[in-house]
Structure 1
């Protein structure tokens, strides 16, 4: 069929099809000598994939990469797209839940305070911002670099590992593994008899973890997992681990319910988080530099932190204890501080171009006057027993 008929049958405009052809995303099956574009039934499949991937939030460049690199068969492609749509549905449901709570508050109090509005903004923006943040481990590395100036030289991943107790032959699930540092940093302490599943919601991050852990002498299982929908039977694990990731989950309550479900009776959930006191001096510096831009906080981490985590966990676990690790970053160079703040979800869209240069100059002047920047760090490990 010619482009007009193909557009009419598919519900896509001719202009859109011409653009897809121009960028090589959807080329017609044939072009006649007179220049007519001819489409066939197979082109509907390609167009269906494009429209679905576009709907779930991928850019045209990302869609092009996905279609040309996937090499999946038809059944697999449909399953992947269906799964992606299910994830989008869950996110939309979480957004609706926040709006319902806000609506109830408005009915009761006749107004919405700033916290209600912040919740709405955060939850609606979360899907895209988290996806962008964890396409690679670049941002994690930038933030780790600032922490290397901490005068408390206890390694974070070593400290976390030492807080955990792994029964002999335990079945372990790590959610949000990132680049796999928990296991690579402690590779000489891993019991060979442990059954460890390393997971992340980001496919690209999971690939990074797999590459980083290839030299660790252990047979890890790798799984792409959304913490709100853990694809395992009840009581499948003796230990579940979540390092600094729970606050990124749109529906934390749903995730905690799922973690409780897959834990065996008496199983342990080890979850780390920040304190609201952490990075307080840096947040104050940023607020003085640029008031009311939303950079004077620790972002999503306030959704599950040291101060509020226990009450959330106690709804799902019989016993909750906490260990705290404190430190102090002392740095006399503006660059790692700027890189840290600019790598955060909120900072990545604000501290760019001239604004980033201005912030760098502001910190350099501060260091010149005060010799260094001192920043409090305070994190914790919750130990929750089912």
Structure 2
């Protein structure tokens, strides 16, 4: 088939096919001496994969990478697309749940308040934002840099580790392990008898964790896991850990239910979060710099925090305890402060170009007049028992 006939049969425009050819995503089976593009039945299979993955929301670059990884194995191609569609369905289900709540509120009160609208905005935008945020550990490192100015020199990961109790031969699952800092910072304390599974929803982050932990004398198990659908049988773990990640999950209630399901009787769930008071002074500075810019808060972390976490956990766990760690960041350089906010999900699209320069100048003047910037930090760890 020439390109016109192929386009007509597939329902894709000639312009689109020309673009796919140009970027190497879908090249015709052959070209005639006169330059005509000739397509065959095999090209329908390639086009089907592209349109399905595009429907899911992937970019053409991501699609090209997936097709390259899957090669010519038809079963592998179908499996990848099916898995991606299932993930998309889960996210859509979460969005529908939020809309159902909004609909019930509208029926009851006759209007939707700002909190209802914020929930809808966050849940519909969350999947892509979080995915982009954690393709690498770059943003995590930028945020950690600001915390290095904290006058409370207690290491966060060491403090968390010391709050946890690990029974002999315990089966441990960490959700959202990131680059594996909890274990690299506490490598000398790891009991070799423990069975530790490190998981993350980001394949790239798992690769980073593997690389950074390969020098530790322990054989970790690595697995890509969505916290809303943990692929293990009931009572598979004695301990589940989630450090500063549960508020990124679209459906927190579903994740907590899953965590409880995979915990053994009397198993422990250790989960961390921030306080509303954390970064208060920085948020106030941003509000004065540019009211309503959308950065004068702690973003998604407010979905599960010191103030509301206990109530959420008590729906699923018999006993909930909490410990807090407070500190104060004192910094006389605007760069780590700007980098911190610019590395967040909201800031990555707001603090760019001239706005970033203006905010940097604003902080420079503030430091000149006040000597430094003082920022409260307040985090917590919940200890929930099944």
Scaled by the length of structure 2, the TM-score of the pair is: 0.98
Q: CA deviation at 1:70?
A: 4.4
Q: CA deviation at 1:72?
A: 7.0
Q: Please say if 1:73 is aligned against 2:68.
A: no
Q: CA RMSD in A?
A: 1.0
Matches within 5 A, 1:289-328: 289-328=289-328
Does the residue aligned with 1:306 lie in a helix, a strand or coil? coil
Q: In structure 2, what is the equivalent of residue 94 of structure 1?
A: 94
Moved more, 13-22 or 302-311: 13-22
Q: CA deviation at 1:34?
A: 1.6
Scaled by the length of structure 1, the TM-score of the pair is: 0.98
Q: In structure 2, what is the equivalent of residue 42 of structure 1?
A: 42
Does the residue aligned with 1:307 lie in a helix, a strand or coil? coil
Q: Structure 2: how far apart are the matches of 1:194 and 1:11? A: 55
Q: CA deviation at 1:74?
A: 2.1
Q: CA deviation at 1:78?
A: 1.4
For structure 2, the residue ranges without an aligned partner over 5 or more in a row are none
Q: CA deviation at 1:66?
A: 2.5
Q: In structure 2, what is the equivalent of residue 274 of structure 1?
A: 274
The number of equivalent residue pairs is 386
* Cα deviations by residue, 1:32-71 (Å, 9 ceiling, x for unpaired): 1121111122212211221122122211122222322444
Q: In structure 1, what is the equivalent of residue 197 of structure 2?
A: 197
* Cα deviations by residue, 1:197-248 (Å, 9 ceiling, x for unpaired): 1000011111111111111111111100000000000110010000000000
Q: Structure 1: how far apart are the matches of 2:264 and 2:45? A: 44
For structure 1, the residue ranges without an aligned partner over 5 or more in a row are none
Q: Structure 1: how far apart are the matches of 2:84 and 2:61? A: 18
Q: In structure 1, what is the equivalent of residue 285 of structure 2?
A: 285
Q: Please say if 1:118 is aligned against 2:105.
A: no
Q: 1:340 to 1:50 in 2, by over 3 A?
A: same
Q: Structure 2: how far apart are the matches of 1:182 and 1:75? A: 38
Q: Structure 2: how far apart are the matches of 1:102 and 1:70? A: 41
* Cα deviations by residue, 1:97-152 (Å, 9 ceiling, x for unpaired): 11111111111111111111111111110011101101110000000000000000
Q: In structure 1, what is the equivalent of residue 180 of structure 2?
A: 180
Does the residue aligned with 1:173 lie in a helix, a strand or coil? strand
Q: In structure 1, what is the equivalent of residue 82 of structure 2?
A: 82
* Cα deviations by residue, 1:158-210 (Å, 9 ceiling, x for unpaired): 01111111111111000000111011111111011111110000111111111
Moved more, 37-46 or 250-259: 37-46
Does the residue aligned with 2:179 lie in a helix, a strand or coil? coil
Q: CA deviation at 1:6?
A: 1.8
* Cα deviations by residue, 1:228-280 (Å, 9 ceiling, x for unpaired): 00000011001000000000000000000000000001100000000010000
Q: In structure 1, what is the equivalent of residue 18 of structure 2?
A: 18
Matches within 5 A, 1:1-386: 1-71=1-71, 73-386=73-386
Checking the alignment, whether the CA contact within 8 Å between 2:70 and 2:76 is kept in structure 1 is no
Q: Structure 1: how far apart are the matches of 2:71 and 2:288? A: 51
